[in-house]
Structure 1
């Protein structure tokens, strides 16, 4: 498995985890759970999504560096990667 496949697998795992957590948050609201518990779980969903996004950006950065080292043109510019990173901030 290459680095890009590993990153894709990691991102998908994080997104599936977030999907399950979000389903849990919805169920908590539907059953009238305490707001504090709901917000705590909602924050966990948010962190899982952020981590998936950062993993995607980090993978893109690694790919760009590898392409620069082997002399091929990177798929994304540094400015494009920076914009993606800042979108998550």
Structure 2
């Protein structure tokens, strides 16, 4: 994983951790279920984005290795883009 990507992922994960701490505080303070669920939905979306970024990075690294071995990278990349569109 590239250094810049790693920094971005760590930043996003720390932000998510902060939001989780915020939800814990909301529960302790007796906030409404609607307020808490809204924050949980935001965290869920954020963690999915982190997962997609890691998946995309992994796929791209695999493609580079495949290209070195003579595999048709354009076709494989096309399939990966289709998968990412579907799961997003």
Question: What band does the TM-score fall into relative to the shorter chain?
Answer: 0.7 to 0.9
Q: Which blocks of at least 5 consecutive residues in structure 2 are unaligned?
A: 71-75
Q: Is residue 2:14 matched to residue 1:16?
A: yes
TM-score, reference length from structure 1: 0.72
Larger Rg: 2
User: Which structure has more RCO (C-alpha within 8 Å, separation ≥ 6)?
Assistant: 1
Q: TM-score, structure 2 length as denominator?
A: 0.73
User: Which portions of structure 1, spanning 4 or more consecutive aligned residues, are displaced by more than 3 angstroms?
Assistant: none
What residue is the counterpart of 1:59 in the other structure? 57
Please tell me the root mean square deviation across aligned C-alpha atoms, in Å: 2.3
Structure 1 stretches lacking a partner, 5+ long: 73-77
The number of equivalent residue pairs is 75
Aligned partners of 1:67, 1:30: CA distance in 2, in Å?
Answer: 50
The residue correspondences of 1:66-81 to structure 2 (distance < 5 A) are 66-71=64-69
